Amino acid sequence: MSTLSVPPVPTSPRDDAIALYRAFKGFGCDTAAVVNILAHRDATQRALIQQEYRVMYSDDILKRLSSELHGKLETSVLLWMHDPVARDAIVVKQGLSSETKNLQAATEVICSRTPSQIQCFKQLYHSRFGVPLEHDIEMQASGDHKKLLLAYVSTPRYEGLEFDREIAAKDSKALFKAGEKKLGTDEKTFIHIFSERSRAQLAAIISAYHDMYGNSLKKVVKGETSGLFEYALLTILSCSENPARCCIRL
Ligand SMILES: [Ca+2]
């Protein structure tokens, strides 16, 4: 991106819309011009350009961008143009589509969002792509990873800071029995606790587990599970320990 030049004078959304229209015109597309404009505008400016473009040319600039640009460039430009909720929906949809399948990316978004953020992008997902999120998870994911994602996107969780020490101790005991103490692993217990408990409650479980069994829950998850299921559980754990980091979106 070091080759991008900063525009010498502040521009208006109207000028930008006109410049973009010109870049699209004719055979092919002046990709450098498009990137130069959109990379140097913030979310609000881009939203205004989108609006201006619709008014001036009766056309949706997002549709135009996706027909003019291709591959990774198309994806990045479209991601720039969207608000965080739409970006979540797009990233998850791409991750759960056969052609662009990236279950890790989809898992990362799903498991690092709060229940209300999940509600928002779930609604948008359904209305934009015409299919419920759960359907795509059902089709693309498998095994315990699938069960966890399905539970995680449909279970309401408390978003406040209060937690219950007694329940945390009980859950730690259940996780110990299901993991370290057991030959093999009872994944169901992990799915149940990780999808039902709030972030604050999970943070309390992490500390209760350490106090009771002298081991970190993260190590237990790493030892007992693997693959995408492990990745999902670890993402949920790290967002409970460090919720501020998980609030930051793309
Ligand atoms: Ca075990």
Domains and CATH numbers, the chain: 13-81 (1.10.220.10), 83-250 (1.10.220.10)
pTM assigned to the model: 0.75
Calculate ∠ Cα 240-246-250, nearest 5°: 165
Tell me the pLDDT tens digit for each residue of 185-241: 999 999 999 999 999 999 999 999 999 999 999 999 999 999 999 999 999 999 999
Ligand 1 centroid to Cα of residue 187, in Å, is: 10
Ligand 1 centroid to Cα of residue 172, in Å, is: 14
Side chain identity at residue 38, one-letter code: L
How far is the C-alpha of 86 from the C-alpha of 89, rounded, in Å?
Answer: 5
Ligand 1 centroid to Cα of residue 196, in Å, is: 22
b/e 36-52 (16+ beta carbons within 10 angstroms → b): bbbeebeeebbebbbeb
Neighbours of ion ligand 1 (CB under 5 A): 182, 185
Q: pLDDT value at position 149?
A: 98
User: What's the mean pLDDT in 100-105?
Assistant: 92
How far is the C-alpha of 185 from the C-alpha of 176, rounded, in Å?
Answer: 10
Ligand 1 centroid to Cα of residue 156, in Å, is: 29
Side chain identity at residue 67, one-letter code: S
Top-confidence residue, 113 or 29:
113
Residues whose CB falls within 8 Å of the CB of residue 204, separated by 6 or more in sequence, listed in order: 163, 164, 165, 168
